[in-house]
């Protein structure tokens, strides 16, 4: 009998191995999916994750559960998904600044095209440049001229060293050949308070932050995205302002463990593409200061390579300090 059982078991294993990919894809998902998020509830990253999780739940017919694992450099989700089985049931929300970690953190061991499966990009946003409205300036070109005329005196605030808001201004300084004094704050809110109070001349901030104080003592002069966001349709992009190399968007994305089966990736890509194309969903993203930014797995993988090459070139020029 034991020998007969062993033969039967062998046939079952062979049959499972021969199951066509389409059959596996049709059965995925057959249980809840966990989406690991490295930020606390209530922030933009968490909101984006929950918006997509809700829509994926409807389209996939299984619950997509957001697990908040707040951690420096997104380490808890990264380590969890790195160790997870490549079955599509443990996924991770990624963010654009994660691609810079191998260049800024000496002992950072992960490479996102090698150690994970890039599934899709989800949404993007970008920096808004705002000045204190007491300055006699109406455009980014005028601000650059003002900064050059007051070399070493013009201050700008951001939410901290190495944040997208900081890097956006660093790129602007490089292309415009101007030198500004960076005042890093613990948060974008603190930077905004000092901008309103006239203690700094310019603030680099997120779209939602700028919108929250619209009409107060600030003037928005440019935005760093590839196009004008619906929140600020009359504000020119940084490229329209004459500085195309200073364009910088930050984005959220979806990763799975390495070697995630292609048919599982295809199921997720199809659902995410449909969600991103839905006009009602796009309006939800707009309300939180984001914009749709969907690319499928193959395009996302190539995009990671391009962005990695870009930051490998730029970071040494900027001279960012190593992270602890």
- pLDDT of 32 higher than 80: yes
- pLDDT of 10 higher than 90: no
Q: Which residue has the higher pLDDT, 10 or 26?
A: 26
Contact 71, 80 (CB under 8 A): no
Scan for tokens 């990695």, then name that residue. 308
- pLDDT of 25 higher than 90: no
pLDDT tens figures, 195-242:
999 999 999 999 988 988 888 889 999 999 999 999 999 999 999 999
pLDDT tens figures, 121-165:
999 999 999 999 999 999 999 999 999 999 999 999 998 888 889
Q: What is the pLDDT of residue 295?
A: 97
pLDDT tens figures, 249-290:
999 999 999 999 999 999 999 999 999 999 999 999 999 999
Q: What is the pLDDT of residue 189?
A: 79
Cα separation, 298 vs 282, whole angstroms: 23
Q: Considering the chain, what percentage of its residues have pLDDT values greater than 90? A: 75
Q: What is the pLDDT of residue 301?
A: 97
CA distances from 60 to 57, 89, 127, 270 (A): 5, 12, 34, 10
Q: Angle at the Cα of 45 (from 39 to 49), degrees rounded to 5?
A: 105
pLDDT tens figures, 106-121:
889 999 999 999 999 9
Q: Set out the domains of the chain in order of their start, with CATH numbers.
A: 18-125+250-318 (3.40.190.150), 127-246 (3.40.190.10)
Q: What is the pLDDT of residue 316?
A: 86
Q: What is the pLDDT of residue 14?
A: 42
Q: What is the pLDDT of residue 3?
A: 44
Q: What is the pLDDT of residue 98?
A: 92
Q: What is the pLDDT of residue 322?
A: 78
- Quickly state the pLDDT bin for 20 (edges 50, 70, 90): low
Q: What is the pLDDT of residue 106?
A: 83
Q: What is the pLDDT of residue 111?
A: 94
CA distances from 299 to 40, 245, 269, 292 (A): 29, 22, 11, 15
Q: Angle at the Cα of 124 (from 34 to 94), degrees rounded to 5?
A: 35
SS3 (DSSP) at 253? strand
- Six-digit token string for 55: 């829509």
Q: What is the pLDDT of residue 250?
A: 93
> What would the DSSP string read from start to end of 182-235?
EEE-SSHHHHHHHHHTTSSSEEEEEHHHHHHTTTSSEEEEEE-SSS--TTSTTS
């Amino acid at each position: 009998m034991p020998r007969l059982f062993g033969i039967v078991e062998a046939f079952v294993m062979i049959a499972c191995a021969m199951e066509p990919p389409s059959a596996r894809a049709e059965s995925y998902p057959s249980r809840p999916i966990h989406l690991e998020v490295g930020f606390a509830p209530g922030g933009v990253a968490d909101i984006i994750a929950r918006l997509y999780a809700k829509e994926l739940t409807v389209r996939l017919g299984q619950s997509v559960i957001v697990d908040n694992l707040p951690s420096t450099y997104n380490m808890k989700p990264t380590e969890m998904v790195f160790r997870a089985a490549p079955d599509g049931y443990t996924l991770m929300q990624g963010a654009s600044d994660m691609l810079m970690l191998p260049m800024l953190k000496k002992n950072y061991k992960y490479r996102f095209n090698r150690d994970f499966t890039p599934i899709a990009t989800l949404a993007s946003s970008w920096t808004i440049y705002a000045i204190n409205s007491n300055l006699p300036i109406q455009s980014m070109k005028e601000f650059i001229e003002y900064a050059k005329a007051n070399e070493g005196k013009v201050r700008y605030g951001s939410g901290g060293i190495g944040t997208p808001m900081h890097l956006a201004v660093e790129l602007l300084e490089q292309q415009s050949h101007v030198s500004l004094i960076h005042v890093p704050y613990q948060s974008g809110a603190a930077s905004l308070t000092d901008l309103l109070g006239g203690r700094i001349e310019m603030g680099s901030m997120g779209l939602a932050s700028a919108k929250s104080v619209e009409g107060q003592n600030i003037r928005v002069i440019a935005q760093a995205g590839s196009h004008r966001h619906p929140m600020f349709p009359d504000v020119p992009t940084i490229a329209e302002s004459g500085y195309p190399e200073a364009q910088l968007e930050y984005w959220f994305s979806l990763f799975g463990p390495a070697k995630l089966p292609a048919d599982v990736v295809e199921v997720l890509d199809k659902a995410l593409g449909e969600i991103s194309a839905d006009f009602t969903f796009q309006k939800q993203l707009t309300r939180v200061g984001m914009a749709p930014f969907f690319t499928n797995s193959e395009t996302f993988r190539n995009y990671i390579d391009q962005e990695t090459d870009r930051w490998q070139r730029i970071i040494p020029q900027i001279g960012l300090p190593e992270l602890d």
